[in-house]
């Protein structure tokens, strides 16, 4: 697979929710339909399957593999498929990475091991072992407010030496740290926070791995393209226009509200699996207001 090192998975990626049937079973037909919508209507260059937004903590390994295969069959000819494979066990992460490669994924998203809080030497070993396990290019997912551990600048620069570690999903919330890595490496940086897309672009970022982009994808693509062609005024206008949903989608929990929106729009979503709970009436009404404020009707 030929990759542009500046943006190996394009500009716009969505961490796709995993559709379930009314009784909570995996809805593979729905996943294919939703993936097609995200690529053809919301203009995504790539989709992340089995990320946290995809409720990966509550799906089994076989479900994960079947989901990747189904989505790859549906949209793999016109979008890249990244598989979220990160766990707090290196051995299990390696297993998931190999399974994802077999199922047709084009790349891996590997979150920092969570809860067990490995030292930086442990992070280096973990990410390198996963990168060594397949032939797939890999994004490191740095989100310390969830995992409990930040990938330090020196660690990230060392990881950049691995030929298959090509970029970062950056949800650290530290633009200066990201800037230093961008100055010192060729890693492609994708914002892991929808509202930080434009700020990250300004220091050399490649794009976004979004959640609200289930709804804001087309507008976000226009934001990125405006910035790329030097129209900063238009990019800022788009940023401000979409900001109510960039932030509002996380008012309770991103997966919960995205699925509520998909269900309202008649797109595959279905219920969430415990320990998540479906959106309340009040949360749905607030979601509608946030969408209206962003110029999106649901």
Is 190 one of the annotated active-site residues of the chain? no
- The one catalytic residue in 64, 80, 141, 190 is 141
Quick check: 71 pLDDT over 80? Answer: yes
Return the pLDDT at 3: 67
- Cβ atoms within 10 Å of 180's Cβ, excluding its own: 16
Return the pLDDT at 2: 57
**Residues 123-136 pLDDT 10s:** 999 999 999 999 99
**Residues 51-65 pLDDT 10s:** 999 999 999 999 999
- Tell me if 257 sits within 8 A of 17, measured CB to CB: no
**Residues 198-209 pLDDT 10s:** 999 999 999 999
Q: Which domains occur in the chain, in start order?
A: 12-231 (3.20.20.70)
Report the predicted TM-score, pTM, of the whole model to 2 decimal places.
0.96
**Residues 81-129 pLDDT 10s:** 999 999 999 999 999 999 999 999 999 999 999 999 999 999 999 999 9
The arithmetic mean of pLDDT across residues 269-291, rounded, is 98
Is 141 one of the annotated active-site residues of the chain? yes
pLDDT band at 76 (very low <50, low <70, confident <90, very high): very high
- The one catalytic residue in 169, 172, 221, 259 is 169
pLDDT band at 4 (very low <50, low <70, confident <90, very high): confident
**Residues 142-174 pLDDT 10s:** 999 999 999 999 999 999 999 999 999 999 999
């Amino acid at each position: 697979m030929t990759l542009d090192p500046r943006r190996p998975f394009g500009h716009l990626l969505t961490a796709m929710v995993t559709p379930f049937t009314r009784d909570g079973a995996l809805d593979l037909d729905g996943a294919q339909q939703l993936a097609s919508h995200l690529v053809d209507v919301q203009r995504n260059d790539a989709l992340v399957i089995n990320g946290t937004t995809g409720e990966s903590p509550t799906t089994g390994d076989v479900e994960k593999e079947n989901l990747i295969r189904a989505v790859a069959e549906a949209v793999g000819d016109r979008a890249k498929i990244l598989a979220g494979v990160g766990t707090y066990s290196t051995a299990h992460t390696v297993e998931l990475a190999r399974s994802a490669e077999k199922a047709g994924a084009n790349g891996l998203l590997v979150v920092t091991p969570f809860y067990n809080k490995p030292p930086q030497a442990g992070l280096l070993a973990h990410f390198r072992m996963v990168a060594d396990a397949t032939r797939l290019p890999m994004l490191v997912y740095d989100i310390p407010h969830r995992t409990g551990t930040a990938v330090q600048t020196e660690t990230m620069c060392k990881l950049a030496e691995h030929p298959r570690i090509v970029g970062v999903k950056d949800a650290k919330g530290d633009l200066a740290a990201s800037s230093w890595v961008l100055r010192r490496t060729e890693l492609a940086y994708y914002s892991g926070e929808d509202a930080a897309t434009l700020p990250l672009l300004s220091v050399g970022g490649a794009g976004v791995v979004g959640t609200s982009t289930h709804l804001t994808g087309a507008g976000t693509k226009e934001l990125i393209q405006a910035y790329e062609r030097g129209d900063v005024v238009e990019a800022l206008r788009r940023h401000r226009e979409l900001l109510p949903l960039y932030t509002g989608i996380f008012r309770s929990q991103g997966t919960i509200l995205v699925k509520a929106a998909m269900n309202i729009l008649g797109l595959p979503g279905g219920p969430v699996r415990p320990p998540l709970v479906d959106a309340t009436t009040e949360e749905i009404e607030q979601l509608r207001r946030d969408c209206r404020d962003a110029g999106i009707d649901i």
